Structures are given as structure tokens and as C-alpha cells.
Homo-oligomer: A and B are copies of this chain.
Amino acid sequence: MSLAHAILVSLVECPQSGYDLAKKFDGSVGFFWKATHQQIYRELTKLEELAWLIPQTIAQVGRPDKKLYSLTDLGRENLKIWIAQPCEVSPNKEELLVKIYAGHLVSPKILEKEISRHQQLHQETLAIYQEIERQMHCGSQCLPETLKYTYLTLRIGIKFEIAWIEWCEEAIAAIGEKIDFN
């Protein structure tokens, strides 16, 4: 039941509509939890039934109405309970690595090209993260409590992207030449 929790986490900050959440799941929380708008609407309905959320319909000029969802006390309590519970290390699924694992079946050139493309994608993501990081601590003042945690999640995002970029370089070298790692 973790998409539900990701939605609750997202709504802690401020009330949002399904549409808002769908966009947010393409950034911030979305860096480590993905969901489509269909999933989100389905989940919002469930959470409303549980009374963990309450909707408020907002009329807008020249726009369709929007249903702003906020956490109820019950929802907030349940979220706290969930956060305090220990969790497993999430399994990672990496399509590229499945391909690399049987990489000897295709030409090294195809692999090199694909890895190099991924390296570029990771470099772009890293640039985005670093820009957010730069904006988060202008000067060198301490961050407020809530931002501190957001910042921590950003930090690991950066570390992962750097790991990918370094690996891509290493992999391209290893595939091209008959390199020995030492």
C-alpha cells in the first residue's frame, strides 16, 4: 500500500488535486516513486473512503473545477505510524542491466552507444538535481527542519546519478578495450 503513502507524504506540505499530484510525481517525490494520473485518481478515491483525506471542490474561472485533497487527522496519524515502521531495502529493477548481463549476444558497438546515451541522460538528471541543490542553500545558512529531509533525499539522488555516470564511463572502456579492472 505504498502509493497511498507516497500520496499522503505529498499532501503533508499542502492540499493538492489529483492533477497537481500527477505532476508532482514527475518531480520531488517522483524522484523515488512514480505513478500515472490514473493510479493517483484511483488511490485518492480509496483514501477518501478511508477518511484519510477530505476533498474540497474549488470552482475556478475559465478552468474546470478542481478537487483539492487535504490530510485528515486520521490520515496524518496513519502516515506517522507508517513512517515509524521499519521497511525493507526496495528491490531495484534496471532494464539496462538485464540487457548488459547478456550483452555478449549483441555487437559491442550497440552496447557502447546505448550506455553512452544513458550516461547523457544521467548527466542531465544530475544537472537538474544540482540546480535544485544550489537553489536550496543559497549562501550557507542552515535549512529549516522540513527542507532538511527533502534535501537528504536530493543528496542520494545526486549520489546515484554520479554512480551511474562513472559506471557508464567504466563500462564503455571495458567493452571497447580488453580492459582489466584493478
Q: Chain A: residues with CB nearer than 8 A to chain B?
A: 2, 5-6, 8-9, 12, 28-29, 31-34, 76, 79-80, 82-84, 86-106, 110, 114, 117-118, 121-122, 125, 137, 140-143, 145-146, 148-153, 155-156, 159-160, 162-164, 166-167, 170-171, 174-175, 178, 180-182
Contacts and interface: CB of A to CB of B under 8 A. Distances in A.
B100 A152 contact: yes
A9 B101 contact: yes
Given A86-B114, A102-B79, A118-B89, A156 B150 contact: no
A156 B97 contact: yes
A180 B149 contact: no
Chain B CB count within 10 A is highest, among A28, A31, A121, A149, for: A149
